[in-house]
Structure 1
Amino acid sequence: MASSTGKTLIALASGAAIGAVLGILFAPDKGEKTRKKIKDGYKDLEKDMKAKLANAKVDLEDTYENLVSNMSYKTEDVITFLEKKLADLKEQNAKLHKQ
């Protein structure tokens, strides 16, 4: 997910930059209007980027929580397995001492 979000952000920023340059080159408006359009476009881009970054942060936090949760379950599985093996070894050791 993080790789996809990063690529999306790069594509969005690249598209905005290319659009701004083309807009300036082919703008039929006066300089003042063109600058206002660029400024408004930048503000829209900034809002969009902030929203995407906030979503990426939430996604990352969710992924982290899931990973920690899964690791916790795996740790419990490993501990249970080791406890069973230890009990088996104690039983085998007890049998050896009886002989």
Structure 2
Amino acid sequence: MSNNAGSTLLALLTGAAIGAGFGILYAPDKGSRTRGKIKDGYDDTKNNLKHKYESASDELKHKIALFKQNNLQDTYDEMLSNVSHKTEDVITFLEDKLASLKEQNAKLQK
């Protein structure tokens, strides 16, 4: 039902815009004034669309920057975790080597 209501509303607004356009074109006014009104309406619409485009573009750029920042943070956290695991492996290796050297040293001291 909402889709049908939306279509009806769109058709109503389109009809109103077309009717307003014909009203301006056939109004008993000078052609230069009518053209001026049409140009002003066109300029207003163009500026409004330009503003909406710039706003949407800025919002998209902001979201992309946030995504990159979050992705970079995730990459950093993953890299830090990997380094931590590697550090643990190195410490374990060095502790084993130290224990072996202590055993060899103890045999030499007897």
Shorter-chain TM band? 0.5 to 0.7
List structure 1 segments (4+ residues) > 6 angstroms apart after TM superposition.
Answer: none
Post-superposition offset of 1:30? 2.7
Query: In structure 1, what is the equivalent of residue 103 of structure 2?
Result: none
TM-score by length of 2: 0.58
Task: Give the equivalent residue in structure 1 for 2:83.
Answer: 82
| Residue identity matched to 1:66 | F
- Counterpart of 1:98 in structure 2 is 99
Aligned residues: 71
**Identity over aligned pairs, percent:** 6
Normalising by structure 1, what TM-score?
Answer: 0.64
Note if 1:58 corresponds to 2:59.
yes
Q: CA deviation at 1:88?
A: 0.5
**What SS does structure 2 have at the residue aligned with 1:81?**
helix
Equivalent residue runs for 1:3-82 within 5 Å: 30-82=31-83
How far apart are residue 32 of structure 1 and its match?
2.9
Counterpart CA distance in 2 for 1:49 and 1:80 is: 46
Q: Runs of 5+ in structure 1 lacking a partner?
A: 1-28
SS at match of 1:79: helix
Q: How far is 1:86 from its partner?
A: 0.5
Indicate the RMSD between aligned Cα atoms, in angstroms: 1.5
Unaligned runs of 5+ in 2: 1-29, 101-110
